[in-house]
A and B are shown apart, each in its own frame.
Chain A
Amino acid sequence: MTFDLKKKITKSPVWKSAFRHDYKDTTRNRYLQVLSNVWLHLHPTKVARHAVEVRYTWGMGGISFFLFLVLTVTGVILMFYYRPTDQYAYYDMKYLMNDVPFGAFIRNMHRWGAHAMVITVWLHMLRVFMTGSYKPPREFNWVIGVVLLVLTLLLSFTGYLLPWDQLAIWAVTVGTNMARATPLLGHEGPLGPQLGMKPDNDVRFMLLGGTQVGPAALLRFYVLHCVFLPVAAGVLMIVHFWRVRKDGGISGPTGKL
Chain B
Amino acid sequence: MAEPDDDKTAGSVAGEGQSAPEPLGPPVKSVSPKEKLAEPAKKPLPPRPEKKADGLRRTTEAEGEGNIWRVSRRGFLEKIGWVGIFSFLGVMLVGTLRYMFPRVLFEPSPIFRAGFPEEYLPGTVSTKWMKDYRVWIIREQDRIYALLGICTHLGCTPRWLEKEDKFKCPCHGSGFYRSGVNFEGPAPRSLERLKVARAETGEILVDRSVKFLFENNGWDNPQAYLPV
Contacts and interface: CB of A to CB of B under 8 A. Distances in A.
B66 A4 contact: yes
A105 interface: yes
Interface stretch (A27-35, A189-197, A220-228): A27-35
B30 interface: no
Contacts of B104: 95, 98-99
Interface in A81-96: 81, 95
Nearest to A103: B99
B1 interface: yes
A80 interface: yes
A244 interface: no
A190 B96 CA distance: 51
Nearest to B64: A2
B67 A2 contact: yes
A39 interface: no
Chain B contact surface mostly: loop
A99 B66 CA distance: 49
Contact of A102 (B6, B11, B99): B99
A105 B95 CA distance: 10
Given A100-B99, A102-B98, A106-B99, A28 B6 contact: yes
B4 A24 contact: yes
Contacts of A27: 7, 11, 13, 53
A36 B52 CA distance: 20
A257 interface: no
Given A77-B96, A99-B102, A26 B66 contact: no
A228 to B, nearest CB: 26
In this complex, the interface size class of chain B, counting residues with CB under 8 Å from chain A, is 20 to 34
B4 A100 contact: no
Interface string B83-124: 000000000000110111111100000000000000000000
B103 A25 contact: no
Contact of A23 (B2, B52, B68): B2
Given A102-B95, A103-B102, A106-B99, 4 more contacts: A24-B7, A28-B7, A77-B96, A80-B99
B133 to A, nearest CB: 26
A27 to B, nearest CB: 5
Chain A contact surface mostly: loop
Nearest to A26: B7
A19 interface: no
B7 to A, nearest CB: 4
12 contacts: A2-B68, A3-B68, A24-B6, A27-B13, A27-B53, A29-B2, A95-B104, A100-B103, A101-B98, A101-B101, A102-B95, A102-B96
Contacts of A24: 4-7, 10
A29 B53 contact: yes
A80 B98 CA distance: 13
Contacts of A32: 2
Contact of A26 (B11, B67, B95): B11
Nearest to B9: A26
Contacts of A102: 95-96, 98-99
Contacts of B54: 30
Contacts of A22: 4
Contact of B6 (A4, A26, A101): A26
Most A C-beta atoms less than 10 A away, residue of B5, B53, B99? B99
A131 to B, nearest CB: 29
Contacts of B98: 101-102
Nearest to A100: B102
A106 B99 CA distance: 9
